[in-house]
Amino acid sequence: MDSTNSPSTKPLYHGTQVVWYILGILEAALAFRFLLKLLGANAAAGFTSFIYGVTSPFAAPFLRVFSITKVEGNVFEWTTVLAMIVYWLGALAIVKLFFISKTVSTTEAAVKLDKQDM
């Protein structure tokens, strides 16, 4: 069976799109958090407070992994960088899991197995 005409191709494609979209939003929010802390943004400002509030649950598991580097009121939050890397790897793993369920032909499977056998 040609995998391009498989009934599982379209849902897999949409599933991967959703994963990358969610990751994009999360990465953008964490990048804002990182930059706001790095530039010493006023935590009482509306936008800053919003970004810190939204990203706090996602950064929290990593907050004690590294110490915070402070330079004259600016904060280099290593933990936010770590969170961004971990979430990206997690999204990559989810997408790889989606592709495990993709329909492949016997020929396609044989070629991929031969490549892995090297």
On whether residue 2 sits in a domain, the answer given is no
Structure token digits, residue 97: 């899991």
On whether residue 87 sits in a domain, the answer given is yes
Distance (Å, rounded) from C-alpha 59 to C-alpha 61?
6
The pLDDT tens digits of the residues spanning 32-54 come to: 999 999 999 999 999 999 999 99
On whether residue 95 sits in a domain, the answer given is yes
Please count the structural domains in the chain.
Answer: 1
On whether residue 1 sits in a domain, the answer given is no
The pLDDT tens digits of the residues spanning 64-111 come to: 898 888 888 788 899 999 999 999 999 999 999 988 877 777 787 777
Domain range enclosing 61: 7-116
